[in-house]
Amino acid sequence: MLYDFRSFVNPGRYAFGKGSFNHLGELINKQKNENNDWVVYMIDTFFKDKDEVINRIPTNEKDLFIWIDPKDEPKTILVNEYRDKILAHQNTLPAVVVGMGGGTAMDYSKATALMVTNPGDSKDYQGLDLIKNEGIYNICIPTIAGTGAEVSMTAVLSGPEKKLGIKCDYTIPNEVIFDPELLATVLDSDRFYTGMDCFIHNVESLNGTWINAMGKAFAEKSNELCEEVFTNKISNRLKADEQMMVASIMGGNSITYAQVGVCHALSYGLAVVLGTHHGVGNCIVFNQLQDYYPDGYKMFKKMQALQGVEIPSGITANCTDEQLDQMVEVSWALEHMWNNVFGPDWKNHINKPTIKDLFKRM
């Protein structure tokens, strides 16, 4: 065994298929009781003026809407603010916290639902098993597919010191609604970047030293589904979106049972120093990883060409030496990822100048 024993959790309930969003009200009502009878909706700002979606949400005057701007990735300071807002909203706790959007809105909802019942600053819970109390019942509704945040035990947060997840058994959503119709409006570029997060999760787990039969089965099937979608084997967009939602679930599980690798270690460096978003950041990094993942790289370039999506380049061209060094330090600190890539003697296989050189090429 290369890593510590752990018995993993999955979401408690899944609702899957076109039209399942229409049943949100029924699912919420099951969680309400005399005291806890209201709901917090944390929704991606994209939907703010999309009446055709928002009007289908079963709202009540007691409920609280928090619009999540995905411009920046989730921050501990905002999680604390949202928690304070929720506690001030009514004299009782909410019955449900709904997170609707991409990885950003879902991770905000997962973290905030926990911080309502755990005192203090969310930055102090970044790490493994630091949360003491179960959170408010959390329903996630993905509206873009790929991160696997809807099935993961992690809410990834950027704090004053680090980008690190709150990870524990309670960080898992209690329930997930997968409705492919909600993905219809996603832009081609966002669809590709977030979809590639899933593809890269699979490539990194399959090529890592921590892989086992469970992670392998999820990753292989997930990449088969991803590749069908992004090599345009499925012409119907709704069918393709439905399939990518399954790929995302399986990709998320592949890293639960294995681990990510070089691409994620480096893209965290870009995120912390330049604020580069996860999906596009992974694509920028993966574009330079042909030596580390030659087969995955080939397929990635094929899918990119077929989708006609540009991968930004030159983003580190104006970085100072200090900024590059800071990126290297952020990446270097992600020991578990390097350990997965090369094994426990990973420091014999990679060094800081090599990582710095990779950053300079981006």
What is the binding site for Zn ion (CB under 5 A)? 197
Give me the sheet containing 127-128, strands edge to edge.
127-128, 163-167, 154-158
In this structure, are residues 215 and 268 in contact, taking their beta carbons and an 8 Å threshold? no
Residue among 24 and 272 whose Cβ is closer to Zn ion: 272
How far is residue 42 from each of residues 55, 105, 310, 327, 340, measured CA to CA in Å?
A: 15, 6, 30, 31, 34
Residue nearest to Zn ion (CB): 197
Member of 122, 154, 222, 253 binding ligand NAD (CB under 6 A): 154
Query: Residue 359, interface with ligand NAD (CB under 6 A)?
Result: no
In this structure, are residues 225 and 246 in contact, taking their beta carbons and an 8 Å threshold? yes
Minimum distance from residue 256 beta carbon to ligand NAD (Å): 9
Q: Which range, of 12-20, 179-187, 207-215, 333-341, touches ligand NAD by CB under 6 A?
A: 179-187
* Tokens (6 digits) for 259: 């681990």
Query: Residue 101, interface with ligand NAD (CB under 6 A)?
Result: yes
Query: Residue 144, interface with ligand NAD (CB under 6 A)?
Result: yes
Member of 20, 143, 288, 340 binding ligand NAD (CB under 6 A): 143
Residue among 155 and 303 whose Cβ is closer to ligand NAD: 155
Minimum distance from residue 212 beta carbon to Zn ion (Å): 20
Of Zn ion, ligand NAD, none, which one does residue 83 interact with (CB within 5 to 8 Å by kind)?
none
Give dist(CA 144, CA 331) in Å, integer. Answer: 27
Q: Which range, of 22-30, 173-181, 185-193, 321-329, touches ligand NAD by CB under 6 A?
A: 185-193
Minimum distance from residue 344 beta carbon to ligand NAD (Å): 24
Minimum distance from residue 334 beta carbon to Zn ion (Å): 12
Kindly tell me the sign of the dihedral angle through the C-alpha atoms of 179, 233, 222, 166. Answer: negative
Cα–Cα nearest to 142, from 27, 249, 69, 64: 249
Residue among 86 and 182 whose Cβ is closer to ligand NAD: 182
x-marked contacts with ligand NAD along 70-89 as a string, rule CB under 6 A: x--xx---------------
Buried b (16+ CB within 10 A) or exposed e, 36-61: bbbbbbbbbebbeeeeebeeebeeee
Query: Residue 180, interface with ligand NAD (CB under 6 A)?
Result: no
* Tokens (6 digits) for 206: 């399959």
In this structure, are residues 34 and 174 in contact, taking their beta carbons and an 8 Å threshold? no
In this structure, are residues 34 and 101 in contact, taking their beta carbons and an 8 Å threshold? no
* Tokens (6 digits) for 30: 């099951």
Q: Which residues bind ligand NAD (CB under 6 A)?
A: 44, 46, 70, 73-74, 101-105, 107, 143-144, 147-149, 152, 154-156, 182-183, 185-186, 190, 194, 197, 278-279
